[in-house]
Structure 1
Amino acid sequence: MPLISSNTLHLDTSYQYQSTEALFDEYFGDEGGTTKQSLSEAINLLMRGEYVNVSEQRNVTHPQTRSYHAVVTANRRDTRFADTVRKLRSGNWFGATGKPITAVVNIGVGGSDLGPNMASFALKEFADDHQSHSLNVHFVSSMDGGQLYAVLPIIDPETTVFIIASKSFSTIDTLANVNTVREWIKPQLNQEQWLQHHVIGVSSNAKKMGDYGIPEAHQFTFGEGVGGRYSLWSAIGLSIALSCGLHTFERMLEGAKAMDDHFASAPASKNLPLALALHGIHNREQRGINNLAILPYDGRLRMLPNYLQQLDMESNGKQASADNHAIDYPTGPIIWGGFGPNGQHAFFQHLHQGYDDFAADFVLVLKRNAPTFNSAVAAKLAEQQQLSVANCLAHRRLMWFGAKNTESPRDHYPGGHPSNLLMMDELTPESFGELIAAYEHKVFVQGVYWKLNSFDQPGVEKGKKIALDVMGSLNGDADTAFDESTDAIIRRYRNM
């Protein structure tokens, strides 16, 4: 079995069309294109914090945040990060009216929401320091206010701290939510009380946090070279530490650092992120498969598909090279998926018997302990985990081998769908950190091969600019003409 392992993560590529070694020779040959030597140089630059995001002319530095020491050092060396987490988790942060804080709301979008939300949910049961104080951490991202509708009725302005998480501290989605919160708190707090006692800022832009009125002691920064979708390891991970505790957060960072070391040193035949990248390139270019289904078979990882959508599609969904030349070949695939056991009762029918080609990454946890339950309940939970393992292996096998039946089309399963199996003996903060870092490095390798800048997002920025023009027309501040459909809807909106 072609099993590739790092410290706590294992990759089975048995159900792929070629070996990792053959693909490495094919795609990173020593003549033309991206060679093995140039890939090695790119990896070394990334690990040293010297790989350049050419669009923004800054070094890419997210691997340098993979230590608790780095996060603390970035915030004035006086352990304010640790002190803030301990203060809130112990019930020793008091609001403007003297009541202890019992809720935290992280307001962010994209990388300021997807990674922290995913990690907080996945690692919640590993919460450390055995606090007796109850601290509920919520996440709000949607610009339409839908999540505020759900969160505001269950929190109290006097006992809630809001984290404004935004790399630029100018993201319109995030500030729209913040502006609504500023109105909501007015019956009980004035603006100065709210800013002084109930707001924390996390951003690369300390000046804008200060201009907004957030006290310096409540500002947490991270480097400009840390891209939003790579930022959960940095101060953006404050909400993770608040949800799970400092020790768990540090263990997650250690897992990511272990994957960095593996990626930088393991030979090609045993390099887990490289193998993921190579099989992805082959399926995209040679098999013509334009999508990858992410299928976690552990409920704690159910947010993984959403996170990987941003990580992969925002990084490598490009039609121009890093040096701004048009390209005429496919790049990153469409990423989609869902919680595997539930998907079996939804979209798996199409996967098994539909006409479309796809590739899949199955993510499996073999064992789950249940220390907080009595032995009888723990045994039943172990049986459920076993059921999940069995279903994961069965469906993955059927997608690859199929089940031929020439007499009954209804009972024919064509198979032939390639997949990876990413497997952990147990989900721990370390194995979670390794998993996420492995995907980051996979995306990096594919970006290098396709000659992309995986660290910019010009399509996103263009859409935001058009939205501002449309907003002006919706408000009546401008009378810009767009197209027949858009103009008609704007008129309908303004007439309501």
Structure 2
Amino acid sequence: MSDPISSAWDRLRECPQSTLFDLFGADPERVGKLSRRLDFALQGHDDVGMLLDWSKTHLDDPLLDSFEALATACGFEQARADLFGGGIANPTEGRAATHGAMRGSGTQPHVEEAEALLARMGMLVDAIHRGALGEVNHLIHIGIGGSALGPELAVDALTRDLSLVDVHVVSNIDGLALEQAFAACDPATTLVAVASKTFTTIETMTNAASALDWLGKNGVSDPGGRVIALTANPERAVEWGVDETRVLPFPESVGGRYSLWSSIGFPVALAVGMEEFHALLAGAKAMDDHFRETDGRANGPLLAAFADQYYTRLRGCQTRAVFAYDERLAMLPDYLQQLEMESNGKGVTIEGAPVSAPTAPITWGGVGTDAQHAVFQLLHQGTALVPVDFIASIAPGDELDPTHHRQLLMNCFAQGAALMAGKESDDPARAYPGDRPSATILVDDLDAATLGALVAFHEHRTFANAVLMRINPFDQFGVELGKAIAGQIDSGEGQFDASTTALMAAAGLR
């Protein structure tokens, strides 16, 4: 007898597959069934409104019924309760995942700890803005992975109009990245934030040492006094030389790619102020509440995960594309690459058994309308079936002639319509097959609260996918092997394949 999870997948495989054209023709209520309007009234902050439209996917009632049965078989409700209740959400490392507590979603002890840590950050941010550390015009934020991608996304999205402090995020060990930041900053008015969970990440610490050297060589008498440490290992930061008053800790149970809400968000708060940072948290908290309190297909992130699973496991799609029709979200595809691929790019289940089907697809994307003239040829006429997410804002981010934003939105909506409808032609080179899926997230405006809700939506979507696949989204051992081998190359130890040995010799590393 098969287990409930296998039975649920068998039922899903037996569901008939219909074209998008047939699905719309058979159900005049389809848009209403597969769209969600989410409106969040936030106390003390602007309200958040967004429309989630998954009607141009191949989901239908039989599939949704079967996916809801799969969620039940996989223990979705208990897994969700464990996530918010401080249970072991990361079984391979025996940890909770408490990033939600940083925005007020979690157990009382975790939330109280988060509030205290954020209050500490707020005091330092306010002190800097008041001039307690002298004139501060620039911040060089040094991190890698989630310690850089989250802050860079938020700073880029929220500082198009005004920035209290000019922030430069550096993650690459390539010295050119750091030199570009140096060239844009006055060392006399520059702070350096070093973001590392362990405060041992070799790329981050190497860049940090070079930043201090740059400050010292350019007239700063106490370079160490210009450093802010963002870490879950405050003792190590103090040992490295950071003054204890300038160490901003965050909990060990907050993973790097989920750490924007913690002190890793310091550059965001410094750039836009603590009030805006709290709006970011409030928007994420509102999405937490929706995800926690809503069941089945009415749950926006879970509905998105149903579609993800359908295309990855039932239709064999190896990639998913994300296109932001808003310059303020230019960094979102990069951010989602790490969130989704590092979280769910796994090969074993939470029990340690090999997975029996594909896990995370390759996430990629770009910015509309640029991408239309670069990669959309493949989406419309290529041989690969690629589910597409479109993300846009009803309110423009510019003050130019409204025709700019009108054309932007027209292009966004037209691409989804064209992917679905296709076009017949007697000339095969001019024919479009159509029946290609897309989803659209349309926000009322893109402010701090909306950005928080949008990022939290994708966090929960990623988590829901992991539960449906029975994998752990909160570990990332796959990044360790390459680091270990790089260390062996650096130390001159270890035996390597002939190709690697030849490359090291050609580069002068051996």
TM-score, length-normalised on structure 1? 0.89
Q: Deviations over 1:236-288 (max 9, x none)?
A: 10111111111111111101000000001123232110111000000111111
Give 2:149's match in structure 1, choosing from 114, 120, 124: 114
Residues 408 and 255 of structure 1, relative CA distance in 2, 3 Å threshold: same
Per the alignment, residue 412 of structure 2 pairs with 392
Give 1:244's match in structure 2, choosing from 258, 272, 275: 272
- SS for the counterpart of 1:414 is coil
Identity, % of aligned positions: 35
Question: Number of matched residues?
Answer: 466
Residues 22 and 232 of structure 1, relative CA distance in 2, 3 Å threshold: farther
Unaligned 5+ segments in structure 2 are: 1-30, 40-48
Per the alignment, residue 10 of structure 1 pairs with 51
Alpha-carbon distance, 1:387 to partner: 0.8
Per the alignment, residue 470 of structure 2 pairs with 451
Query: Does the aligned pair in 2 maintain the 1:104–1:160 contact within 8 Å?
Result: yes
Q: For the residues of structure 2 that align with 1:22 and 1:471, how far apart are their CA atoms?
A: 56
Per the alignment, residue 59 of structure 1 pairs with 96
Give 2:186's match in structure 1, choosing from 142, 146, 156: 156
Give 2:490's match in structure 1, choosing from 471, 482, 485: 471
Alpha-carbon distance, 1:384 to partner: 1.0
Unaligned 5+ segments in structure 1 are: 95-99, 371-377
Q: Deviations over 1:99-136 (max 9, x none)?
A: x1211110000000001100111112475xxx9xx521
Q: Deviations over 1:142-177 (max 9, x none)?
A: 011221121112223221110000111111110111
Per the alignment, residue 87 of structure 2 pairs with 50
Alpha-carbon distance, 1:72 to partner: 8.9
CA RMSD of aligned residues (A): 2.2
Query: Does the aligned pair in 2 maintain the 1:49–1:64 contact within 8 Å?
Result: no
Q: For the residues of structure 2 that align with 1:434 and 1:23, how far apart are their CA atoms?
A: 27
Q: In the alignment, does 2:469 pair up with 1:437?
A: no
Q: Deviations over 1:311-365 (max 9, x none)?
A: 0000000111112111231011100000021101111122112121111110011
Per the alignment, residue 395 of structure 2 pairs with 367
Matched residue type, 2:383: Y
Give 1:228's match in structure 2, choosing from 256, 264, 270: 256
Q: For the residues of structure 1 that align with 2:197 and 2:509, how far apart are their CA atoms?
A: 37
Matched residue type, 1:39: F
Alpha-carbon distance, 1:24 to partner: 4.0
Q: For the residues of structure 1 that align with 2:427 and 2:74, how far apart are their CA atoms?
A: 52
Query: Does the aligned pair in 2 maintain the 1:5–1:270 contact within 8 Å?
Result: no
Alpha-carbon distance, 1:379 to partner: 5.8
Residues 216 and 243 of structure 1, relative CA distance in 2, 3 Å threshold: same
Q: In the alignment, does 2:371 pair up with 1:354?
A: no
Q: In the alignment, does 2:365 pair up with 1:345?
A: no
- SS for the counterpart of 2:507 is helix
Query: Does the aligned pair in 2 maintain the 1:66–1:257 contact within 8 Å?
Result: yes
Alpha-carbon distance, 1:27 to partner: 3.0
Alpha-carbon distance, 1:10 to partner: 1.6
Per the alignment, residue 503 of structure 2 pairs with 489
- SS for the counterpart of 1:41 is helix
Query: Does the aligned pair in 1 maintain the 2:74–2:470 contact within 8 Å?
Result: no
Alignment of 1:132-281 (within 5 A): 135-188=165-218, 193-196=222-225, 198-281=226-309
- SS for the counterpart of 1:163 is strand
- SS for the counterpart of 1:460 is helix
Query: Does the aligned pair in 2 maintain the 1:75–1:81 contact within 8 Å?
Result: no
Matched residue type, 1:157: P
Alpha-carbon distance, 1:185 to partner: 2.3
Q: For the residues of structure 2 that align with 1:453 and 1:495, how far apart are their CA atoms?
A: 37
Give 2:360's match in structure 1, choosing from 329, 332, 335: 332
Q: For the residues of structure 1 that align with 2:88 and 2:339, how far apart are their CA atoms?
A: 18
Per the alignment, residue 87 of structure 1 pairs with 127
Residues 116 and 204 of structure 1, relative CA distance in 2, 3 Å threshold: same
- SS for the counterpart of 1:226 is coil
- SS for the counterpart of 1:9 is strand
- SS for the counterpart of 1:6 is strand
